[in-house]
Copies of this chain bind each other. A is one copy, B any other.
Amino acid sequence: MRGSQTITFALGVVGVCAVSLAARAQTASTLEPVQYPESYRHFVHVKSTVIGKDSPDFQRNGGIHHFYANDKAMEGYRTGLFPDGSVLVDDSLEAQESAGKTTEGARHRVAVMVKDHDRYSSTRGWGFEVFKGDSHEGSLPAEGRAACVRCHASGRDSVFSEYRP
């Protein structure tokens, strides 16, 4: 649901409460889908993390994580406020270890955040999606999306990562 539609709907009901209801409806299932970021491997490499077997996060999120940002998102890292059009990617890959060397294996998933205040007004301006393996079809259910929004709320403009110079 686009922001202008939300506003029209809200004005037709009863002010602040209606806006709140519309926002909640948008959060649940009517958000416009986030597209696969086709060119993300040419984005700027922000930083990387390896979540190993000794980490409490391994079951949920183990492997190599490379974070990428498009040019608009790089502006967000500089200013603290990510402009519309910002795209952030967490490229999650299997960590293959052999003889003390860790290399990249198969892709677990591509997790994406897209800033668009018009499309995602109810979720702090951010749309979230997850593409499993090498699929370009989003797989994130509504409850998963809600969890993303809740967790990321504590970040700086909903973003946790910082650019490594």
Contacts and interface: CB of A to CB of B under 8 A. Distances in A.
A75 to B, nearest CB: 13
Contacts of A108: none
Contact of A165 (B41, B45, B49, B55): B41
Contact of A49 (B42, B54, B101): B101
A49 B51 CA distance: 14
Interface string A23-48: 00000000000000000011011011
Tell me the number of copies of this protein: 2
Nearest to A54: B100
A1 to B, nearest CB: 35
Give the 4 A-B residue pairs with the shortest CB-CB distance, closest first. Answer: A55-B100, A54-B100, A45-B45, A50-B102
Nearest to A101: B55
Interface of A: 41-42, 44-45, 47-58, 64, 66, 68, 97, 99-104, 164-165
A100 B58 contact: yes
A88 to B, nearest CB: 14
A60 to B, nearest CB: 13
A41 B47 CA distance: 10
